[in-house]
Structure 1
Amino acid sequence: MWYSTLGPLEVLRDGHAIDLGPRQRRVLLTRLLVEDGRPVSLTELCRSLWHEEQPAAAVASVRAHISRLRAALEPDRRGSASVLISSAFGYSLKAPCQTRDTVVFERSLDRAREALGLRDLALARQEIDTALGLWRGDALGEAAEYSFALREASRLKAAHQEARELQTTILLQQGEVEHAVRVAEHLTVTAPLREVSWALLVRALYGAGRPVEALRQYERFRGMLAQELGLDPSPVLRKLHTAVLRHDTAALGLPRSSRYANPSAAPSATAPPPRAPLVGRKEEVAGLLDMLKAAAGGRVHWAVVCGDPGTGKTRLLEEATALADRAGFAVVRAGGGPGPYGDRTTALHCLSTSASGAARAPGADDGTRDGSEKVLGDDPVTALVREVTRTPTLCVVDDLDRADPHVPERLSRVAAVLRNAPVVFVCAVRDPAAPTVGAMLAEVARLNTAWLQLKPFTVADVEELLADRGERDSAADAEDLHRRSRGNPFALGELLKLPREQRSGPKARVPATVGAVVRAQLNEVAPPVRTLLSHAAVDGGVVDIAVLASIGQTEHARLLESVDEAVTAQLLLWQEDPDIPASGRYLLPELVRDVLLDSMSVPSRQLLHAALARELAGREGTDPERLAGHLRAAGPLARSVEAGRSHPSRRTASSSPPARRQEQPAATAANREQRHHTPDETAAACGTSAARVDGPRARTPAPVSPSAQTSGRRSPLGRGPTPACGCARGGRPVEDPPD
């Protein structure tokens, strides 16, 4: 005989089920089995079956059921019953222990525990599989809802939960982490407030190479425990949480065969593609790594990454994201939009939206302290705090100064209230002086914030980058590339995409992406500024104020206004003289110069070369090589320049500012129209006298200094600020280069 109550009641004889009759008779047999051979009085049996609403024939009905059960259990009986017996104390069922599945289950469970303690994983697995294989459903089946069965059903359910937990532990020790995860997930559903089950799920997820998910499940249980019971996790579970943060596999009790301890066990299809090495940012990366380690202890940290467009702010954020992922941090991209940081990245839109429907769960800890809930209220800031404090989190905000104005304002509020949480905020800004981010940066500055100012690459950085590309014999190339790119990582990266002979030298080309960015910057400045830059490009990239003012027939003060705007737009750079303090010259970046020259036709360049040669020929102390270069480039116009050198009065009459003031109204009108011409049109209109700039822009003149600084956008090809403008003049909106 075999009595099974780990599911619907079933009695087997020689492997075949016995027909036990109607439901009430089966419940009666279960009642006797629960007592484990102890007698149950007739009165108690009636009460167990009908509670307080016993029918008049209850006793007769019980006796009839007993008789039918005896016949079913002992069909060949000739004398007294030996299985379902009666005595002065009532009725009892005599079933040997080895014939009852509940006893066999508990004995196998005990043997599995003992084998696991002895590190005999094979035997432990065999015994636990045997024990769990006895279960066919809910314990005691249809009798489980009766009052007499409640205690036994609860005991058996708890034993089953313990058995599944032991099975999970054995699976983890055997390295079957995916199977362990599935079992543990089921355990947390069947017993949502049982801490042991959640601890196993955290361990299994970590062992499966999913530390971020492990931390999220811990936070889920913590919030559930606080909401339902008003309690915190036990010290044991908190230590487990810390072990996940520190990647302490020994404290987690995981074997080295687990996927996280052995990354090579992970499927190669899920491995991210190798990332190019990050050159020239070792100190910044080390600082971010230290912040992540410190934040794991429960303290908020802030970092502000500053730099011109193209200096690699976004690339540094990607590196921080990779570090955070390896450290078990979740990654949140604040400000909205999809993030480029992989599958585990959460796109968080709450900062740039006007409202949030998420309400704070009662009793949930959102990481704030000292009544900060009253400050936050039920708004997007609350949603952000709730999101980033669920688990150790890295929150990255790229291009903060170009984001919606609500974003820095709400981050400022977060900084004011969020102190004690394992969170790191990293914000990238192009211009820290931008008015939209001033208040927010002032708020975080009081929090011992790390300021990471990204500088252009040095020649050594370029050499390292070339070496990583396998170009180790290119020290001279490194210097050429550094000069041409001005150390800007974006421009350098685009140059390296070109064939080696086209990066610098006589066959040098401007990468298409860089050219598009420069042209967009040129379209944002006034026509007189573009004219000035075109003249300087033809003159070798050096701004000679006196010469350019003369050939452009404009006053020095007005020309300096154009110089000021070009410097602000980072289309001109100031190069200090190392020998003379506070002295130097303005230069065009090499790539900007090449773009300007490429935008001009050959006749236009020849006209300007001729005008420059004519001006230089009449000046004392002119560099002969400079003059000869312009004469050669003037082509067929060089003869007219030579002829003009013998009649200096022509040049004087045509280039003198007083003569310009005596021009007729028609000429002045023509000059006003000329302001909207391209460099080619301007040069063609001025003939051999070169292009002219007539009148300043409608703005207040500003003094020019080598340290001129203005808030706004920056050029991707040099250092310094540029005006903030969203569209090219007379064209479509332009995009800034990637960082």
Structure 2
Amino acid sequence: MSDLFKGVTLERAIDRKATADGRPRVDGAVETGVSAWELRVFGSLTALHAGRSLPLGPLRHRALLGLLLVRMGNVVAAGQLVDELWSGRPPRRPIATLQTYVSHLRRALASGGEQGGVRARVRHSSPGYVLEIDPELVDVHRFETLVDRGRQDLAERRFHSARDELSQALALWRGDPYLELTSYGPIADENERLEQLRLTAVETRAGACLAIGEADSVVTALYPEVQRNPTRERCVGHLMSGLYLLGRQAESLRLYEQTRRHLADELGVDPGAELQGVHADILHQRLPLTEPPASGGSCVITDRGADLCGPGPEAAAPRSAAAVPGPDDPPTAVPERPFRPPQPAARTRDTTGTRLLPGGARTRGVLVGRDRELAVLGDHVLDALDGGSHLTAVLGEMGVGKTELVEELAVRLHELLQEVVWGRCTSGEGVPAYWVWAQVFRQLAVSRPEAFRKAEARFGSLLAPLMLDPESGRRSLGGEDPSARARFLTQDAMCETLLSLAAEDPLVVVLEDLDQADESSLELLALLRTRLHCEPLSVVVTADDTGAAADLMGGGAVAEALGDSRTRSVRLTGLSRRETGDLVSAQTLVEVPDEVLRLLHERSRGNPYVLHQFIAEVGDPGLLCDRAVVENALADIPVGVRQALCRRLAPLPGPVLDVLRCCSALGGAFEVALVREVLGGSSTDVEVAIEAATRRGLLRRAAQPPFLLSFRDELVQEVLLGELSGSDRARLRESVVRALAQRPAALHAEYEPGRERARRTPRRHSTPGDAKGACGPTSVPPHPA
């Protein structure tokens, strides 16, 4: 098995030496004796002193600092800050609240100034406040300084210096700036501005690398950028030049054609003159395949429509986006790996090592505690590519990390030069048939245009249901004939197309959220499973096998696919306590006390998504060391978790929801008979509802008599109880009292702890009534029948 599936992270080390012209480095915190003070914007907004995170406070406190920081040195009116902080819904005394926030920030920033004085101050200056700070203490300022220097170096033809400066700048990009604050308008605008500056830095660095013959570095760095920004023509032009200089002319031309089609389809325009110039140079062989020169001597784009070519500063020719090097330049090196055209669903890493999700979004997430599962999944996929003829399923509850695991798999496969195409199932009205497969086929039409055209010519209109008319949004052809024979012929054509494409070049297909797939997509998967006979095709699916949607929307086909003898499953459960600690450390860079880790693990049950949401509720990572702060944050359910649980509960039938609401009022562990007595329904109906809730992973039954029931996840119980109105809750408890009154007194104490726990269950929401009725209509009988 390849080492790529043993949890080894491949990162690129960037040289951080002083620049070639002797200018000082600006890539670290400013030093004062043995202490260092730094304000970090990339990733979460964090203030550091001597390696310790300063307690900036909850989210809105940090938002205030962010709003002042984006106008660093300028006065921001108090009224404007109130509007931006509370989005038109201020507290009762907004100015007094704002002053409290300012006081907290002053104390927090001053706590890092024991040596060398206070480094940052929030000062009152009528009519508002101003943040006073040395810009060199802010990582985003150092980033901009390095980018400006790199661009200047490039303009002055100091290519090595430009490459080094821009590499240092990109190394500072630890994650999206102000990551947790982009819901605030001015900060979102600043986030977008910095992203555009990052792209400029990536393009400029690529130009410098081309100039010194590092075409392989250009291809490696620009591949993910072109994936995410297919209309960024300068990126495309540099990537085309790099590919050509590496001897990969066909891939370079294919990339141009793909970009031209994308611009025409999405924007109705042709490529600009600069990109057309690159295309013309490659077509006419104007960029000879040469070895990288010892110093200088290739082409680089420094401004729109301008080239710097050849070995000397006198060779500037504003003719096209790629220029002709001197005839004596030696040939380039042979590439180490072929280029895969940009695939919207494939994931890789950018030049800073930041992970890219399918579709191009970046994430700061890390994969912890899944080395064994990744190794097993990798084995299953490679076996299938070797002709294993099986389906691979990644199973687990919401938020347990199925997507992250498969994304990591896609990265490792990409490093093995293996193409991965991606589709996500979506439920709801208006979703066309075969939607997840349509996503897969459209990506293949882009990455393998010639092979796909052959398949289209072979099967004609049978593939039409996969291709929507981009103008009308309707299926262009086919799909009108509802007969079973027509459906089968369409599915047969799709299967044969996939198998023929895989026969030409091995293929991995990922289908996410199979439990939400439409019936036609599931039928196609079932047919494809019968056709897998030693073909180099691996199909990987993810599914929530414990959620309500699996039974309600799958119609049995999901269970059939997952239960097939040729399906190999990788099941994810919650992280262990140790792994939870590792994940918290990786996300926050804070050493959290064991007692706090215990609280976080017990409350989240080791679910990475839930854990991340609770950490976000705490706010400043430094506050994770304060048990009282953490306990207060854990008392509530984060809005994202509450909404996710409500989405899981919403499709449940009314009788099942009624039983679950009754159980939430009972709390603890309880007998089936007591539930039946409280609700007053028939024994059969209550048993059926309880069995349905148990099968969907919401309730569990004790293995020993009297087989008491309890919730698998206390968060589900709290959501159900919290959505009940006060009157419904009172009626339920009255029914419980009535039922208990008919039982021997010795049994009352058995249920008392459960009822007490239900009374203590937190029921706060982000705003009044947010969760009320979110899980479906409430139907609570006033009295048992």
Same fold flag (TM > 0.5): no
Higher Cα Rg: structure 1 or 2? 1
TM-score by length of 2: 0.40
TM-score, normalisation: structure 1: 0.42
